[in-house]
Each structure stands twice: as structure tokens, then as C-alpha cells.
Chains A and B, each alone.
Chain A
């Protein structure tokens, strides 16, 4: 049972345009959400996070939006650059309210390709 879903396996965009990566979740206990980027032969690298008390968090070119009622979050990359080409994972945890283990539940990932 996939609690975190990234329904699109891949996305291709032109350099300079916006990339929008989507993620849906089913577990209402999740209250902390993260995006990781992964290059081949490397471990996932933390990109940006958002807690359930917010609906938007911005860090440079990266913005994450959270819609709790729809159990949906999205990552916007503006402007997209060729170096952003990687696999992006959405992850969720119940860490903020449950305490204890910060088990992360990951989606299957989405491959982003930014064309020059």
C-alpha cells in the first residue's frame, strides 16, 4: 500500500521554464514533508521541507506547496536548469507530532530532465 505516491515517473522541461513535481499522500498522520534529489551513484540529497503548519516554503529557486485538505504537495523549480536533472523523491513523516522515530516514507521517485 503506497502511502506516498508520485504518479508521474518522468518529466521533461526546457531550461528556464518551470518544473512542477507532484506528490500525493494517504496517511493523515503525516505532518512533515520533504523533497530529496538523487543523482546516479549518489545517495539522496535533502532539498527542501515543509511542516503541516505551513502551506508554502521557499528556498531560492525551489518552492514547496502543501494542500492538506487534498493531501497533495508539489515542488516548483523556477527557473529550471540542466543541473536539476535528477530523480526527485517526495517523502513524509509523522515526526513532529508523534516524536520518536523519524521514519521517512518515500514515493517511487520521478525523473526530471531539463533540456538545454
Chain B
């Protein structure tokens, strides 16, 4: 059984640029959630996708957007990067919607200069 994978591992961008982060869900999982973890903080929910549709969103501006593909892999796109976007971005997959535990990938460390 393949776990959740994310790419790239690390990324450095400058303010104003755009970035795309990628996630492959654990085999058989149909739900993917994205979280942002700033230094010294717990992960913060960005949004969730279930069967290619957005299914819940946290308190993040519209420049954070996502996609889920038919094979349940997912992308997180961030436009007009700001310094405060520097964080660890975590992807988590799960099988059912509502209450089940989520399985996290290792994350992508984004640094915005």
C-alpha cells in the first residue's frame, strides 16, 4: 500500500510569484485535505476535496486554490505569494468524508523571499 506522497520537498520562491504543490493520495482514498503549518504552530486547514469537488474551506484567501484529479491526486496553487506564505504545506488523504482519521504526507517546505 503506497502512502501519501508530496512534491517537491522544498521550494524557494520570491514575493509575487505563483507556486503549485502536488500530492498523491494513499491508494483507495477519495478525499484530500491541505493544511498549512507555520513555524511553531499546528497545521491549519486550507481546504478539502472530495471526488474532485471542493468540500470545505478554511480561512484562507482566494489566491489559495486547488484541484483534485480523477485518480484522486491533488494540487495546491498559491498566487501572488507573500512572505507569510512561508510554511510547511501538508496534504492528507482519507477514505470517507466525516470523522475518519487522515493520513499525512511528509509536506512541502515553501520559503518565500
- Residues of A with Cβ closer than 8 Å to B? 4, 6, 32, 34, 36, 41-46, 49, 51, 89, 91, 93, 95-96, 98-109
Contacts and interface: CB of A to CB of B under 8 A. Distances in A.
B98 A43 contact: no
Interface in B15-53: 31, 33, 35, 40-45, 48
Contacts of B42: 4, 6, 89, 91, 106-109
A103 B98 contact: no
Given A44-B43, A107-B42, A108-B40, A102 B104 contact: no
B90 A102 contact: no
Interface in B55-113: 55-56, 58, 90, 92, 94, 97-107
B44 A106 contact: yes
A89 B55 contact: no
A2 B79 CA distance: 27
Interface residues of B, number: 28
Contact of B103 (A46, A89, A109): A46
A102 B43 contact: no
Contacts of A51: 99
B58 A95 contact: no
A105 B40 CA distance: 15
B104 A100 contact: no
